[in-house]
Amino acid sequence: AQSVAQPEDQVNVAEGNPLTVKCTYSVSGNPYLFWYVQYPNRGLQFLLKYITGDNLVKGSYGFEAEFNKSQTSFHLKKPSALVSDSALYFCAVRDMGTGRRALTFGSGTRLQVQP
Partner 1 sequence: GAVVSQHPSWVICKSGTSVKIECRSLDFQATTMFWYRQFPKQSLMLMATSNEGSKATYEQGVEKDKFLINHASLTLSTLTVTSAHPEDSSFYICSAKTSGNQETQYFGPGTRLLVL
Binding of partner 1 at residue 32 (CB under 8 A)? yes
Q: Are 72 and 87 in contact (CB under 8 A)?
A: no
Q: How many residues bind partner 1 (CB under 8 A)?
A: 20
Q: How many whole angstroms separate alpha carbon 103 and alpha carbon 83? A: 29
Which of 12, 14, 29, 46: binder of partner 1 (CB under 8 A)? 46
By CB under 8 A, the residues from 75 to 104 that bind partner 1 are: 90, 101-104
| Comparison of 44 and 82: residue with beta carbon closer to partner 1 | 44
Q: Which is nearer to partner 1, 51 or 56 (by Cβ)?
A: 51
**Any bridge partners for residue 4, and if so which?**
25
**How far does Cα 95 stand from its chain's mean position?**
16
Please, what is the minimum distance in Å from the beta carbon of residue 18 to partner 1?
Answer: 25
Nearest residue to 6 (alpha-carbon basis) of 35, 31, 28, 27: 35
